[in-house]
Homo-oligomer: A and B are copies of this chain.
Amino acid sequence: MTVSIAHLGPAGTNTEAAALAYAKGLAQTGISAQLYPCASIPQTLRITAQGQVDVAVVPVENSIEGSVGMTLDTLWRLDTLQIQQALVLPISHALLSQATCLTTIRTVYSHPQALAQCQGWIEKNLNSVQQIPSNSTTEALQYLNDDRTAAAIASTRAAELYHLPILAHPINDYPDNSTRFWVLAKQPSPGGLHTSLAFTLPANVPGALVKPLQVFFNRRINLSHIESRPAKRLLGEYLFFIDLEADASQTSIQWAIAELTPYIETLKIFGSYNILPIQ
């Protein structure tokens, strides 16, 4: 049996590394995998929801840059995908360039999140270079072959794949940099120690967020993350994405979810799953 996996491409991105780690896990159970690199996160999720591929691997949160709004917003809209597993991947950035020393570099290309994660290092070591954002860390590499004054921030794996020299590594400002990914599919989630859900609150009710949080607190269900996203109507209206340390099949969490009803407007449960660290 072969499982098709959609992810943000091209080859060499961190999302591809997460997809490969998931594929490796499948291989251990005798299932082979085929990767489908996509142009964007919404496209990755959409073709999975439409049944063109079996699963999607998407970034949810980075330990430095925070939540990936595009992933949460698309997931809320699509309404059909359930989380099968979470993956946590350590992220380290390298400076790739054909230049022989740092002083000859004039421009640095990379994905905006990668540039942001290396700001301190860039200001210290590449002062006054121009920083140019690209669609992915891999896309940034195309500028390196023709221009010896250009550098790109990408993974050491991308350096290998595209045969590019590493000038400095690691260059991320915070050593404990990691990204959490979700594996999503149309099938029900398998259950596990973590549950993710999102809700909107009724408009113009003061302190409306306290009530749902109290429901979980009173039942001793720990909240590991809360994220507000704009409801995309008026400034000041939000969706709340919540990660719970609990399995939605437990009676206590089922009761808690029932108790939420009077305090919230719309509730979407994205499933219960386990987190797998990747080495």
A interface, over-half SS? mixed
- Chain A residue total in the interface (Cβ 8 A): 47
Interface code A209-250, partner B: CB below 8 Å = 1, 0 otherwise? 110011011001011111111101111101000000000000
- Residue A131, interface by CB 8 Å: yes
How far apart sit A230 and B180, CA to CA, in the bound complex (Å)?
13
Copies in the complex: 2
How far apart sit A193 and B142, CA to CA, in the bound complex (Å)?
51
Q: Knowing A69-B66, A133-B112, A220-B207 are in contact, say whether A225-B214 is a contact too (CB < 8 A).
A: no
Contact between A228 and B229, CB atoms less than 8 A apart:
no
Contact between B63 and A230, CB atoms less than 8 A apart:
yes
- Residue A176, interface by CB 8 Å: yes
How far apart sit A209 and B213, CA to CA, in the bound complex (Å)?
9
- Residue A165, interface by CB 8 Å: no
Most B CB contacts (10 A, CB to CB) among A70, A207, A223 go to A207
Contact between B232 and A207, CB atoms less than 8 A apart:
no
Q: Which of B133, B174, B228 contacts A134 (CB 8 A)?
A: B133
The 3 closest A-B pairs by CB, nearest first: A206-B222, A63-B235, A210-B217
Taking A63-B234, A63-B235 as given, write out 18 further A-B residue pairs in contact, using a Cβ cutoff of 8 Å, ordered by the A residue number: A42-B119, A61-B235, A62-B230, A62-B235, A67-B228, A70-B116, A112-B112, A112-B133, A133-B133, A133-B134, A174-B233, A176-B233, A178-B235, A206-B222, A210-B217, A225-B228, A225-B238, A228-B228
Which A residues are within 8 Å of any B CB, using their own CB? 42, 61-67, 69-70, 88, 112, 116, 119, 131-135, 174, 176, 178, 180, 206-207, 209-210, 213-214, 216-217, 220, 222-230, 232-236, 238
